[in-house]
Amino acid sequence: MSEKLKSNFEKILETKNLISKYIHETPLDFSTTFSNMTGYKVYLKLENLQKTGSFKVRGAFSKLTRLVNEGRVKSGVIAVSAGNHAQGVAYAARTLGVSAVIVMPELAPVSKYLATRSYGAEVIQYGKFLHESMKKAEELIRERGLTLIHPYGDIEVIWGQGTLGLELPAQDLDAVVVPVGGGGLISGVALAVKARNPNVKVIGVQSVASPSLKVSKSLRRLVEIEPSFSIADGILVKSPSELTFQFIDEFVDDIVLVDDFEISNAIYLLLERNKTVVEGAGAASLAAVLSGKLNLERGRKVAVVLSGGNIDMPLLAQIIEKVLYHAHRVVKVKVIVPDKPGYLNTILSEVAMIRGNVIEVVHDRISSDVPPGYTKIYITFEVSSPEVLETLFTRLTSKGILATIVS
């Protein structure tokens, strides 16, 4: 074991003792469902059940406890975050009796904004992305003398995130899969895991909307890439820090990318099959596993870190609807029929024959593709499986009604 790995591992152990009374040791749950789907032995690290709903509270308490114990806080603290780090710092600051200012991007989820305010912090929304919010924070630091709690570019924060890695059975795992934004979590987890078992593969997962770390690791140097939009808002970072990149370059084995549909599918399956609510950034790790992005042999034991569960309810509802439509579990069908009594009843009777559950019926008599005396009908309904649709379309065709699916 290198001196770098040994010394940081010792600090992570020290941090566990320092913050254990403030945080949960979250469950590591074996998933039969996801194991059967992927061929791996999948264990879910449920950090969405952590206080404030994410791993970020670990790093916040690690940094703030040391600041308070060593008398390094003068005028309060400030943090920049899309939500989870914000909540972690706000909660830790209130617990330790320290005033906190949080700068959040203007597009931060409403649920995270409201939760941060509920922990007593002063919340300022500024900029579209985190690096823009950071400029505002730097201005406030100069004006007020605040102490910055960096979300990932701080070794004391990284030690806190590393306590999650101590809760993983490193000697009994083949791989750990971790969502990656700025790299604080994966740096800490890699240190904690590799110190106990250097053969464990540590794999990071980024959104295709923000691949700066993937590119940086490939080039072996830091690069900046402007993020685009993603539902994984918590991992949209222009660039990792010099500090986290050093750890990732040395101790992380691979970085893979997932898109928003893959993330949405993971969120949906976690909710439907595991009864677990996870946000976009937190579900990126499982998305990579389900999408076959890991370069691992089947049968390997894989710990999947679900790093947070703070998702906006309207977004969750939209994701559920989108995935159901994509899987043809909910279907929207279009027909154009004579605008006379009996046709709608005929169509709905056939939908009932396949045990479809009708959600909505809409008539359109004025569109340019509807002949005079006809009506276009959109029928949205739920089915048990997409296979029954062929039966429906065949029966409708036999009655002179042509139905098509609206994509």
Q: What is the CATH number for 282?
A: 3.40.50.1100
Report residue 340 as tokens: 């006379």
Q: How far apart are alpha carbons 394 and 197 in whole angstroms?
A: 59
pLDDT of residue 315: 95
Of 322, 346, 372, which one is at a domain's C-terminal end? 322
Q: Which residues are catalytic?
A: 56, 307
pLDDT of residue 142: 95
Domain total of the chain = 3
pLDDT of residue 109 exceeding 90, the answer is no
Same domain, 166 and 140: no
Same domain, 90 and 110: yes
**357-364: strand order across its sheet:** 357-364, 374-382, 330-338, 403-405
Q: Which domain holds residue 352?
A: 329-405
Q: How far apart are alpha carbons 317 and 271 in whole angstroms?
A: 11
Among candidates 334, 351, 354, which has minimal Cα distance to 403?
Answer: 334
Q: Where are the alpha helices (DSSP H) in 56-125?
A: 56-69, 84-96, 110-118
Residues 6+ apart with CB under 8 A from 246: none
* Residues of the chain above pLDDT 90, percent: 90
Same domain, 317 and 202: yes
Same domain, 192 and 271: yes
Same domain, 256 and 272: yes
Same domain, 174 and 250: yes
pLDDT of residue 170: 96
pLDDT of residue 129 exceeding 80, the answer is no
CATH number reported for the structural domain that contains residue 339 in this entry: 3.30.70.260
Q: What is the mean pLDDT of residues 334-358?
A: 96
Greatest CA span in the chain, whole angstroms?
83
Question: DSSP letter at 14?
Answer: H
Residue 132: Cβ within 10 Å count = 15
pLDDT of residue 177: 98
Question: DSSP letter at 72?
Answer: -
Residue 378: Cβ within 10 Å count = 14
pLDDT of residue 131 exceeding 80, the answer is no
Which helix H or strand E contains 313, and what residues bound it? helix 313-326
What is the pLDDT confidence band of residue 96, given thresholds at 50, 70 and 90? very high
Of 270, 303, 322, which one is at a domain's C-terminal end? 322
User: 12 and 159 in contact (C-beta within 8 Å)?
Assistant: yes
**77-80: strand order across its sheet:** 122-125, 100-104, 77-80, 147-148
Same domain, 171 and 239: yes
CA angle 39, 167, 54 (to 5 degrees): 90
Which helix H or strand E contains 164, and what residues bound it? helix 155-166
Q: What is the mean pLDDT of residues 17-32?
A: 98
Same domain, 44 and 171: yes
Of 127, 148, 169, which one is at a domain's C-terminal end? 148
Q: How far apart are alpha carbons 313 and 277 in whole angstroms?
A: 10
Task: Provide Rg for the chain, Cα atoms.
Answer: 25
Same domain, 284 and 162: yes
What is the pLDDT confidence band of residue 407, given thresholds at 50, 70 and 90? confident
User: 242 and 153 in contact (C-beta within 8 Å)?
Assistant: yes
Which helix H or strand E contains 398, and what residues bound it? helix 388-398
Same domain, 282 and 188: yes
Question: DSSP letter at 308?
Answer: B
pLDDT of residue 371: 95
Same domain, 317 and 386: no
Same domain, 67 and 95: yes
Report residue 180 as tokens: 């990656």
Q: Find how far residue 162's CA is from the centre of its chain.
A: 19
Residues 6+ apart with CB under 8 A from 145: 74, 75
Number of H helices, E strands in the chain: 15, 14
